[in-house]
Amino acid sequence: MLAARRAGTSRSLGGVWLLGLALVLWNSLPAAAQERAVPQSAAEITLSFAPVVKTVAPAVVNVYASRTVVQQPVSPFFDDPFFRRFFGGPGPDFGRPRERVQSSLGSGVIISADGTIVTNNHVIKDADQVRVALADRREFDADIVLKDERTDLAVLKIREPGSYPSVEFADSDGLEVGDIVLAIGNPFGVGQTVTQGIVSALARTRVGVTDYQFFIQTDAAINPGNSGGALVDMKGHLVGINTAIFSRSGGSNGIGFAIPSNMVRFVATAATDGKVQRPWLGASVQTVGAEIAEALGLDRPRGVLLTQIHPESPARDAGLKIGDLVTAIDGAEVLDPDSFGYRFGTKAIGGRATFTFLRGGKELTAEVVLMAAPESVPRDVRVIRTYSPFEGATVMNLSPAVAEELGLGLLEEGVVIAEIAPGSPAAQVGLQAGDVVVSVNEEAVDSTRRLERLARDRPRLWRLEIRRGGETSRIVLRG
């Protein structure tokens, strides 16, 4: 302390001049840069993250999810009275399917005082019962409000009314590489744990755990059980939900990924009847590689190229055309299809988005109405139960809304298989969810009603025409 005081009281004229220059340079920096400062003294280096943790930790919960599964008997002989006589189990339930409870563990974050919680969908997937434990050891049952597989997010609600600690959202677009962040969760079920790191990268793609590839990468230690936990900034605000790690051993290697808070906030507020209402552009996009960028006269590959436009879409109404190069949405730069999907997919229904695009070498803008994909044709969901190659398949009529939900092509029409019952004839012949049924025995399938009628036939041969991933296949089966 004495040395510190001496250094502060023996400034020379040159030291004053240097200080003045530093102040001028500091004042000339942008506000965001001024808020981020390298520690200048030993006292600053020894500062603690405890105040941030005390603010946020009460809003981070442990999530316990359980489901009941039916366990089949080890051998079908157990149903035989002769074998039951020698292997015991004289009771009437011996050898019958038994119920077993499977459980999973993760983390969650309370985002509002009414007990609304955000976690990962894979934490509570297929759960029959969900229970959450707060940092103060209180435990509550929770209802599943929303499950969104496309973002791997889920929303829970504590059943017992009350006022609960919550965390505020930060604008994840304001993050910069190098920012300090804290990860809070329950790794390996050892209890609430805090780890510290930096933002290693932004807008990470090719992670492969959600449809929206736009992750925050951090070196804060994230391990199994951290899923659904909080990634917070130094103000104690939520910047992301910890979701995945890159690891060959199953433990932390310093490469963790979090869903940006702007996507989390969108999903938590855009739910209607248990589903997320996303804006529909009605256009397909393509990556701009080096060759295309050179042909278009760009200084570097950027933006996305419009390759298809639905005739009754917001894109068409806004005046966009095939071949337009979209470079920004509401001023946020678009680099590739992943960033395009994130920028557009986090817009709220009911407003407008300004698209900046290039056409013929000129930069133009267009106002796109933010609306949900229309269900222009009633989906008329039916389960095929008659003996046929489609037995056990749940089918529905295609519309832009259904195609958007199932991730199908923009211009797909007809009937799509939405679900296949495990072990059913439909599963055994190789049919999959997402397959579009084009024709059956040379008769076009344009509705679920017609497919259900065709499935009642008993031909000697079944001739199926199925479109999968844009490619059409013909299948011939014995009747």
Closest by CA position to 334, among listed 349, 321, 324:
324
227 catalytic residue (yes or no): yes
Rg, C-alpha atoms of the chain:
28
CB atoms within 10 A of CB 166: 18
122 catalytic residue (yes or no): yes
Residue 49 contacts by C-beta under 8 Å, 6 or more apart in sequence? 182, 194, 196, 234
Strand partners, 64: 105, 131
114 catalytic residue (yes or no): no
Q: Give the separation between CA 290 and CA 298, rounded to whole angstroms.
A: 9
The answer to whether the beta carbons of residues 192 and 149 sit under 8 Å apart is: no
- Flag whether 323 is marked binding: no
Both structure tokens of 277: 């209402």
* The one catalytic residue among 148, 152, 324, 336: 152
- Flag whether 446 is marked binding: no
- Flag whether 79 is marked binding: no
What are residue 189's phi and psi, to 5 degrees?
Answer: 70, 20
Q: Which residue has the tokens 């930069």?
A: 363
Residue 248 DSSP label: S
* The one catalytic residue among 104, 172, 200, 227: 227
What DSSP assignment string belongs to 299-366?
SS--SEEEEEE-TTSHHHHTT--TT-EEEEETTEE--SHHHHHHHHHTSPTTSEEEEEEEETTEEEEE
Residue 8 contacts by C-beta under 8 Å, 6 or more apart in sequence? none
- Flag whether 126 is marked binding: no
* The one catalytic residue among 104, 122, 310, 313: 122
Residue 9 contacts by C-beta under 8 Å, 6 or more apart in sequence? none
Could you give the dihedral angle defined by the CA atoms of residues 456, 461, 462 and 464, in that order, rounded to the nearest 10 degrees? Answer: -150
- Flag whether 8 is marked binding: no
CB atoms within 10 A of CB 127: 21
Q: How far apart are the first and last CA of the chain?
A: 91
Bind-site residues: 122, 152, 225-227
Bind-site residues for substrate: 122, 152, 225-227
Active site residues: 122, 152, 227
